[in-house]
Amino acid sequence: MQMQQIVLSLSLFLPSVSIFASPYYGSSLCAYPQYTCIKITGGQSWQKLFPDPEKRDLVQRLNRTYNDLWTGKTIAVPVDLKNATMYSLSPFPTTIGDKEKQIIVDQDKLAWVAYENGKLVKWGPISSGRDRCSDSSNSCRTLTGIYHFFSKENAKCRSAIFPIGRGGAEMPWCMYYHKGFALHGANDIPGYRASHGCVRLFTQDAYWLNNQFVSTGDHENNVLGTKVTIRPVNITSKEESYDDNATTDTTETTDSAESTESNDTTEE
């Protein structure tokens, strides 16, 4: 109980990326004493810095990215990485009063969390919809509210819209909660909001959710799928000014999009 209270107390003070000059979540942690920050130099990589795959995964989750590192990028590392766990680094409380099986997506924390019987089961990073689309002047904000998953597909899930003009962008282990809006795996999780509207996840997290946690219900018997709450963005982020080191987003559906399980060529 005491450990849970400590974890909860720490989670309440984790920052939202948007209140800092840099949009990258990891950089925003540098002001906190429980973290030390590393500025990447030439030749460094996740694997070289953190040979232990479990510790590497924790640091990537903390920084909300598993994208390749580049020279000059800053990442945060727990001072006590040796004893760090998924629970000690969680930006969410380990228990909640609501016992319903559910997923919560917090766009300010850039994270999702899965609860069952009021207990935290797993959490991970996200990249949700950006303020403006990268290929138009339209808003790409992720649709917010309380929903239930109604459809999901396997590793072959593809976008019928992106890349614009031909579609085929990979959306592995997609899970739809409203029309074309979905949670899905992606290779590009940059540490800020960068999508066309869907919620990007680490691909291994999308696989776990799709296969072990999310149900799509039974429409004929009026049984709802797993509940998902998409929290709104509370503070305007500055991601639009920091795209030089990020890859272009082409992996999401929009409100009118449909997916297809084909082997269409994806974007280059």
Q: Does 203 have pLDDT greater than 50?
A: yes
Query: How far, in Å, CA of 13 to CA of 64, rounded?
Result: 16
CATH classification code of 25-86: 3.10.350
CATH classification code of 91-231: 2.40.440.10
Please, which pLDDT band fits residue 142 given cuts at 50, 70 and 90? Answer: very high
Q: What are phi and psi of 95, to 5 degrees?
A: -140, 150
> Residue 4 is inside which H or E element, if any?
helix 2-12
Q: Does 9 have pLDDT greater than 60?
A: no
Cβ atoms of 219 and 202 closer than 8 Å: no
In the block, residue with structure tokens 């924390």: 109
Burial class (CB in 10 A: 0-12, 13-18, 19+), 252: buried
Q: Does 253 have pLDDT greater than 50?
A: no
Beta bridge partners of 215: none
- At 137 the pLDDT is 74
**Sequence spans of domains, the chain:** 25-86, 91-231
* Residues 125-141 pLDDT 10s: 999 999 988 777 788 99
- At 267 the pLDDT is 24
Least confident interval from 15-19, 184-188, 245-249: 245-249
Q: Does 89 have pLDDT greater than 50?
A: yes
